[in-house]
Chain A
Amino acid sequence: MTADPLAILFFFLFMALTLGITWWAARRTQSTDQFFAAGGGITAGQNGFALAGDYLSAGALLGIAGLITANGFDGLIYSIGWLVGWPILLFLIAEPLRNLGKYTFADVVALRLRAGPVRLAASVGTMIVILLYLIAQMVATGSLIKLLFGLPYSWSVAAVGATMLVYVLFGGMLATTWVQIVKAALLLGGGILLAILVLARFDMNPLALFAAAAQQFGDRVLQPGEKVAGSGWDAISLGIGLMFGTAGMPHVLMRIFTVRDALRARMSVLYATCLIGLFHLMVFVIGFGAMVIVGPGAVAAAGGGGNMAAPLLARIVGGDVFFGFIAAVSFATMLAVVAGLTLSGVATLSHDCWTSVVRKGRASEREQMVVARIATIVIAVLAVLLGILFEGQNVAFMAGLAFAVAASANFPALLLAIVWRPLSTWGAVASILVGALTAVALIVLSPTVQVDVLGHALAEVQAQWWFVPLRNPAVISMPLSLATAVVVSLLTPERDAAARFLSLHRRVLLGPTPAETSTAAE
C-alpha cells in the first residue's frame, strides 16, 4: 500500500480542523478545572459523543472488522463485550462518581478513606492501565499509518505523539473533548455510510449478506468458533474483563466530570451507549461486507494483521475518495484515543500524586498547571518511546490486559467505595494492588505471553508448575480483588470511614453542596 494523495489531503484537513479547535480551546483553558474537566461546561449530548469518541479506538473499526472478515461471527464477541460494560457504568458508577469526585476516580475512593495510601494505590492501578492501553494504541497507530500513508513506523509514532501533545498541552480537556466529538461524528458517519453502501448490494437485507458469506465460505462463518475468543472458562474470563473493565477505564471515568451534574452524566452515558451499540452493529455488517466483497485472502495480503479490511472495502464500494476518508478517520480515531488516555494519565500524576499526596492539597492553581503540563510532556515522550520499543508486538493482548487490570484493580475498589460501608483504607489499597498484580502476573505466565510473545513451545510451557492455562486473567483476578477488599476491610475496621460513608449518602443522591464542591480536591 503506497501513500494515497486523497488520504493525505483528508488527513491534513482533519489536522487543520483539530489544531484550530486546540487554538480556540487554549484561550479558554487557564485553570485546572478547565484543564481537567473543561470547567464542567460540556453538555450531555456533547459528552455522549465524546465518550463514544474516547472509547471507540481504531480497534473497534479496523480491528473488529478485520476479525470478522477473517473469522466470521466471533469478532462480534468483542463488540458485545465492549458494549455491555456501559449499562453497568450507568447503573452503578456514573452518578455517584459525578456527585462525589472532581477529576479522577481516586477522588471518590479517597473521599471517605485516608487519602494518601488510597490515591497512591489507585495511581498505580491507573497508570498500569493507561500505559498498557497507550502502548497498544501507539503500536497499532504506527503500523497503520505506515500502511495508509507510507510513513516509516517510528516517524508515524512520533507524529502521533507530537500532535497529541499539542492538543493536550495547550487545549486540555476542552480541546480533547472537541477532538473526540469531531472524531466520533466522522467515525460514526463513515461507518454508517460504509455499512449502507454494503447493504445496498444486498437489497438492504443483512440476512442476504450473511447468506452470501455462508455460500462462499461455508456455514462456519456464521457460527461461533474457537480462534478469536476461545472456549470454556477462557471465554467467560474475557467477558468479565471486557464488561467490568469498561467501568474501570480511567479515561472513560474522567469524562464523567466534564458535565455539570449527575443528571447530565446519566444522559451522556445513555447517549454513548446507544452510539457505541449502533456503531458495533454497523461494524458487524462491514466485517461481513469485507469478507464477501473484498475476500479474506485479499485483506490478509494487504498486511497490517487483517486491519485493512474496512479501508479496502471502502475503496471498492465508495472509490478512492471514500478510501481516503476512512483512512483519515482511522488516523483521527487513534489520535483522539491517545489524547484522552494521556489526559487521564496526567490527571493521575498531577492531581492524585502531586497535588493531593505530595502537596496535601496545598498547591496553588499555577503550580498545579505547571505540574500538569510537565506530566503531559513526560507521558507523551514515554508513549512515543514505548510505542517504538514495542513495534511489531501483538497489540491485542496489551489492550486485553489493560481491560483486565481495569476490571481487577479499579472497578472493585470504586464500586465498594460507593456501595459498601465497611470498606477500609487498607481494604481498598490491598484490593487495587492485588487486582493489578494478579492480572499482570497471570498474563505473563499464560500462553499469551509465553507462547505468542516470547515464542516458547506450548508443550514446554505447559509442563512448568507455574503455567496458567487461561489467556484472560479476569475470572481469577477480579474475584480475588473483591475478596481481598472484603477480607482486609473486615480485619482492619475503620470507624471514621464507615461514619463518613453515611454522611456521604445525601451527597451521592443529591450532589455536592457549593461548600462541598470547593473542598472536593482535598
Chain B
Amino acid sequence: MTGIPLVDDREIAVGLRRLSARRSRLRLILTLAMIGVYFGFMVLFAFDKPLLGQLIAPGLTLSIFLGPLVIIAGCALSLIYVIWSQRVFDRQVGGGQP
C-alpha cells in the first residue's frame, strides 16, 4: 500500500499543505546547497587553478582536499534529506509505512 491516510481529505488538507510547504523549502535549500558546493568548487577549478594547486601538507593540495569533500558533501546532504523525510514527513503522512 502506498501511504494514503484513512482520514477525510478536508481534515488533512491544512496540515498536509503546511507540511508540503516545509518539505518544498527543505528541498530547495538542499538543492541550492549542493549546487553551491559543486559550482563553488568548479568555479575555483575553472578560473583559479593556482589557488587549488597550493600544497597544504605533503602529498595534499587544496584540490585533493576539496574534491573528495564535494563527493562526501553530496552523500551527506542526501542523508540529511532522507532522515528528515523519514522523521517528519513519513511519520505525519504515511502513518504505518514500513
Contact B46 A79 (CB under 8 A): no
Contact status A277-B71, CB under 8 Å? yes
Instruction: Tell me which of A99, A222, A505 has the highest count of chain B C-beta atoms within 10 A of its own C-beta.
Output: A222
Asked whether, in the complex, the Cβ of A91 is within 8 Å of the Cβ of B59, the reply is no
A207 CA to B3 CA, complexed, in Å: 48
List B contacts of A219 (CB < 8 A): 53, 55, 61
A266 touches B70 (CB 8 A): no
Closest to B64 in A: A222
Q: Tell me which residues across on chain B come within 8 A of A263, comparing CB atoms.
A: 3, 90, 94, 97
Nearest-neighbour CB distance to chain A for B34, whole angstroms, equals 5
Please name all residues of chain A whose beta carbon is closer than 8 Å to the beta carbon of B74 when the two chains form the complex: 83-84, 86-87, 273, 277
The answer to whether A232 touches B47, judged by C-beta atoms less than 8 angstroms apart, is yes
CA distance A267 to B31 in the complex (A): 17
The proximity string for B residues 26-45 relative to A, scoring 1 for CB distances below 8 Å and 0 otherwise, is: 01001100110111011101
Q: Spot the interface stretch: A361-369, A483-491, A508-516.
A: A508-516
Complex Cα gap A208–B58 (Å): 8
Contact B52 A223 (CB under 8 A): yes
Query: If A233-B46, A261-B2, A281-B68 touch, does A90 touch B81 (CB 8 Å cutoff)?
Result: yes
A231 within 8 A of B: yes
Q: Any chain B CB within 8 A of the CB of A185?
A: no
* B2, A239: Cβ atoms closer than 8 Å: no
Residues of B within 8 A of A231 (CB): 46-47, 49
Let me know if B71 and A281 touch, CB within 8 A: yes
In the complex, whether B88 has a CB less than 8 A from a CB of chain A is: no
Please name all residues of chain A whose beta carbon is closer than 8 Å to the beta carbon of B85 when the two chains form the complex: 266
A262: chain B residues within 8 A (beta carbon): 2
Question: Which of A189-197, A209-217, A380-388, A427-435 participates in binding chain B?
Answer: A209-217
* Chain B at the A interface: SS class: helix
- The 8 Å CB contact of B38, one of A224, A243, A261, A506, is A243
Whether B75 contacts A91 by the Cβ 8 Å rule is: no
User: Which B40-98 residues have a C-beta within 8 angstroms of A?
Assistant: 41-43, 45-47, 49, 52-53, 55, 57-61, 63-64, 67-68, 70-72, 74-75, 77-79, 81-82, 85, 90, 93-94, 97
Residue in A closest to B34 when the chains form the complex, CB atoms: A87
Q: Which residue of A lies closest to B85 (CB)?
A: A266
- Report chain A residues within 8 Å CB of B94: 263
Q: A92 an interface residue at 8 Å Cβ cutoff?
A: yes
User: Do B39 and A210 touch across chains, with their CB atoms under 8 A apart?
Assistant: no
> In the bound complex, do residue B2 and residue A512 qualify as a contact, i.e. CB atoms below 8 Å apart?
yes
The number of chain B residues with a CB under 8 A from chain A is: 49
Q: CB-CB < 8 A to B42: which residues of A?
A: 235-236, 239
Fill in one digit per residue for A259-274: 1 if any B CB lies within 8 Å of its CB, else 0.
0111100110110011
Could you tell me the dominant secondary structure of chain A's interface residues?
Answer: helix
Q: Are B2 and A224 in contact (CB under 8 A)?
A: no
Q: Does A117 contact B (CB under 8 A)?
A: no
Cβ of A280 within 8 Å of any chain B Cβ, yes or no, is yes
B4 at the interface (CB under 8 A from A): yes
Q: Is the CB of B55 within 8 A of A232?
A: no
Is the pair A513, B49 in contact by a Cβ cutoff of 8 Å?
no
Q: Is the CB of A207 within 8 A of B46?
A: no
Q: Are A77 and B71 in contact (CB under 8 A)?
A: no
Tell me whether A224 and B81 are in contact (CB under 8 A).
no
Contact B71 A280 (CB under 8 A): yes
Contact A232 B78, beta carbon cutoff 8 Å = no
Min Cβ gap A206→B in Å is 8
Judge whether A229 is part of the interface by a CB distance below 8 angstroms.
yes
Mark out the residues of chain B between 1 and 37 whose CB falls within 8 Å of any chain A CB in the assembled complex.
Answer: 2-5, 9, 16, 20, 27, 30-31, 34-35, 37
CA distance A511 to B37 in the complex (A): 32
For the complex, give the distance between the alpha carbons of A146 and B67 in Å.
34
Which chain B residue lies CB-closest to A226?
B49
Which residue from B5, B30, B49, B64 sits with its C-beta under 8 Å from A87?
B30
Shortest CB–CB separation between residue B9 and chain A, in angstroms? 8
Chain B residues with Cβ under 8 A from A207's Cβ?
57-60
Could you name 18 residue pairs across A and B whose Cβ atoms are closer than 8 Å? Answer: A76-B64, A76-B68, A80-B41, A83-B70, A87-B31, A87-B34, A210-B59, A212-B59, A219-B61, A224-B49, A224-B53, A235-B42, A235-B46, A262-B2, A266-B81, A266-B85, A509-B16, A511-B4
